[in-house]
Amino acid sequence: MFEVLESAKWISEASNRVKIDGQALVTLARDWVSKDVKVPVWDNVHHFVGGGADTVSYLLVLDSLNFCFWPAHKKARWEIQYGPESLSGYLALAASLKRAMESGVPITRADYLAGISPEGLQNIFAGQGDLQLMESRLGILRELGRVLQEDYEGEACGLVEAAEGSAVELIQLLAMQFESFRDVADYKGLQVFFYKRAQIFVADLYGTFQGKDWGAFNDMDQLTAFADYKLPQVLRHLGILEYEKDLARRVDTGILLEPGGLNEVEIRANTIWAVEEVRREMGRRGQDLRAFEIDGILWNMGQQDRYRERPYHKVRTIFY
């Protein structure tokens, strides 16, 4: 079993701040099966899709920076204008990088990333409001460019090819070679694993290339849900995740949680395990979806206002 799922199962069984409501979980699975719920198709509007090595590089940059889009206290939300659309959050990130490529900014070149300037990064994300952790984002891109130059002749596709068609191997390569992808925590004295951004890079490759070429992996069923702040918000709305009283107060009043703290780790782990239980329940009812596909359905639900009635938990972190 992939170590992320092992970690999630163990934490879910040991946690006392977050619990999973089994009946609410069954209700959701039954409803989805009855409606023959569909997996969202890959978004070609806001993402760069060129079909070649540049697309792999674009996705690696995208998922290296795929974290922390909520506004800091008393700061305006970061937004960009992309054609007729005003975008925020992840879609603004995807579109900003696509816009940069279309305007000739060489974000797919490892040498450019290794030496990217603060001004260059600010120009890529030009818009309104504030995107948090810009210094961290700068360091992540420089690390990305440096490692690609040193180990993969500057090519992100070389990194993907080194995994030899294994999603799990690619995730572990990312975590081993890039500190910014090493999404692990300590829970009651034991190391536990999440690897959110590494897993989503694999899923994005799979989605963009439709399971072929650089998106062809033989073990996509090993992926788990991607433990972020949007999925638990949706699962809590559905009654599947339940927070103990003090944690609920902290989340609902916008108090920052400690990165790697017990509250955060239990939210993330129970999110992963709840999705796994939904997957198993749907399978028992005759509809087989993989965890990352269920993640996509839940994430899309989270873009609807009705699933935003309760706030998401807030953590200043580079991992999601």
Q: What is the pLDDT of residues 165-189, one digit of tens each?
A: 999 999 999 999 999 999 999 999 9
pLDDT of amino acid 51: 87
Question: Residue 23: CB partners within 8 Å, gap ≥ 6?
Answer: none
Number of Cβ atoms within 10 Å of the Cβ of 46? 19
Instruction: Specify whether the CB–CB gap between 220 and 167 falls below 8 A.
Output: yes
The residues assigned a catalytic role are 228
Cα gap 220→39, rounded to integer Å: 15
Evaluate whether residue 135 is within a structural domain.
Answer: yes
- Locate 293 and state its tokens: 């596909």
Evaluate whether residue 315 is within a structural domain.
Answer: no
Which residues of the chain fall short of a pLDDT of 50? Answer: none
For 280, phi then psi, to 5°, come to: -65, -40
What's the number of domains the chain is made of? 1
Evaluate whether residue 318 is within a structural domain.
Answer: no
Q: Which helix (H) or strand (E) holds 191?
A: strand 190-193
Evaluate whether residue 91 is within a structural domain.
Answer: yes
pLDDT of amino acid 318: 98
Evaluate whether residue 227 is within a structural domain.
Answer: yes
Print the domain residue range for 161.
3-308
Tokens 């694993």, residue located: 193
Q: Which residues pair with 187 in a beta bridge?
A: 190
Evaluate whether residue 317 is within a structural domain.
Answer: no
Evaluate whether residue 313 is within a structural domain.
Answer: no
For 108, phi then psi, to 5°, come to: -95, 0
Instruction: Specify whether the CB–CB gap between 70 and 79 falls below 8 A.
Output: no
Cα gap 181→172, rounded to integer Å: 9
pLDDT of amino acid 63: 98
pLDDT of amino acid 1: 66
Instruction: Specify whether the CB–CB gap between 256 and 264 falls below 8 A.
Output: no
Instruction: Specify whether the CB–CB gap between 114 and 142 falls below 8 A.
Output: yes
Evaluate whether residue 319 is within a structural domain.
Answer: no
pLDDT of amino acid 259: 97
Tokens 């239980």, residue located: 277
Cα gap 289→25, rounded to integer Å: 15
